[in-house]
Amino acid sequence: MTRPMVFLTSSMILLGLAACEPVPTNGTANARPLVTVPESVSSIAAPYQDLTTARVRPEDGCYWYSHLGPVETTELPLRTANGSPICTRPAS
């Protein structure tokens, strides 16, 4: 009976260690560079967004920012007060 308990315990320890994967931050190579948001963009952006974390995605040419939620950090599109995305080029 002790062999199954040892197997179960060692499996749980290994599974617990797998959860210790580091989370990428702005210091990693995959992070997009932050940009200084122009005055024209900051004047039309909705007030609840963090403009200090804004960046332009090359895939769509739109501004995105990092929303720090209670559980995770999510990249969201920068939007105007009426909900339109703020982009550097027209949508195709």
Q: What residue numbers bound the domain in which 81 lies?
A: 25-92
- Please choose, from the candidates 82, 47, 89, the residue with its C-alpha nearest in 3D space to the C-alpha of residue 65: 47
Cβ-based neighbours of 78, under 8 Å, separated by 6 or more:
41, 45, 49, 51, 54, 62, 63, 64, 65, 85, 86
In a domain, 50, yes or no: yes
The DSSP call for residue 54 is -
Number of domains forming the structure of the chain: 1
What token pair was written down for 6?
């040892």
In a domain, 5, yes or no: no
pLDDT digits (tens, 9 = 90+) for 11-57: 777 666 666 655 555 444 445 666 688 999 999 999 999 999 999 99
In a domain, 36, yes or no: yes
pTM, two decimal places: 0.60
In a domain, 62, yes or no: yes
pLDDT digits (tens, 9 = 90+) for 69-92: 899 999 999 999 999 999 987 665
With contact defined as beta carbons under 8 Å apart, do 66 and 50 qualify? yes
In a domain, 14, yes or no: no
